[in-house]
Homo-oligomer: A and B are copies of this chain.
Amino acid sequence: MIVSQEKIHEIGIRLFTACGASPEHAEIVIRELIIASLMGLNSHGIMRILQYLQQVEEGQIKPDAPIQTIFETEVSAIVDCNWNFGMVCASKMTEIVYEKASVHYIACAASRHCNHIGRLGAYTQMLAEKGMFAYAVTNSSRHGHFVSPFGGIDGRLATNPISYAVPAFPNPIVFDMSTSMIAEGKIRFLRDKGEYLPGGYILDSFGNVTNDPNEFYGPPRGTILPFGGEQGYKGFGLSLMVEILGSALSGVALTPENEKDQYINGFFILAIHPALFGADQVFAKNIEVLKNYILSSRPRKGTRGPMMPGELDFENIVKNKTQGLEIPDSVMDGILTIAYKKYGFRFEPI
């Protein structure tokens, strides 16, 4: 069904505050979910409302938990999210690196006990909108280790995304890639539709390339290949770096194995103020020159030509703001049911 973003916003605020989040925190979570859906990134959008409400009930998300800086220097912080909403934690960490980088021109932060942070590009984008270069990664605990290392056939890494963003006009440049051939959510989507994958994306549990999503889910479970096909050592190497920044470097040997921690994200974010190299007066201009140079390339046949990272996402926002958000009936039903059964809310007919 088609739902306006205002309606979803109202529902989100009421439900998240009802389950214990402050209005400010509820606003962060629902805002990020709406933006992801507006961008067309549905797997990180509205459908997560249901998951988060369930996680609150299970005690995995603790909406009133304090978010604490447990270690810091002038240019760094480890932030213990204490199982609050991942988006609340990650947003707080982004503010912390912004404050520190405003003074020292470079700063970074790493998380502890952090739930699902959603769209990684949300946080680099926040810093780019405030004039900084930002770089972020996030790993996931072993539960999410769907991706095999290059040359291996057992899951050892998550889809480990990398994002960076820089200020640009009219929208920042926001890059956000997974280091695997495909996201697990997309395989699930194809399986549910009874469809096959392109070749070279996944392995069955014996390490054979397969097109069949059922071979991936098993049991026994298969794996997703690292990004890059025959050059998958590149995707693997980048993924390993995400794992290192997301946990080893900040003092965690490997994200924990126990069930409680299955949704953990090891989030790392770095902010650089252009004054770090004395370039604050020319940075915006430099990006503009670079952008125009890239976009001046002749388009490849059958494409609309080169685009800046994130450009399509911003176009989708404009399109979907007028069209409203398309939300699967099952997701909307699930949200309305939990709203009534658990919190006694009846929302106006949508």
Contact = CB atoms under 8 A, between A and B. Distances in A.
Contact of A309 (B110, B233, B277, B289): B233
A250 B277 contact: yes
Classify the interface of chain A: helix, strand, loop or mixed.
mixed
Interface in A245-293: 245, 247-254, 272, 274, 276-279, 282-283, 285-287, 289-290, 293
Interface in A221-260: 227-229, 231, 233-234, 236-238, 240-241, 243-245, 247-254
Nearest to A241: B164
Contact of A290 (B110, B152, B248): B248
A133 B250 CA distance: 11
A173 interface: yes
A306 B151 contact: yes
B177 A234 contact: yes
Contacts of A276: 73, 75-76, 108, 249
Contacts of A301: 207-208
A306 B207 CA distance: 13
A155 B236 CA distance: 27
B287 A237 contact: no
Nearest to A178: B234
Contacts of A74: 104
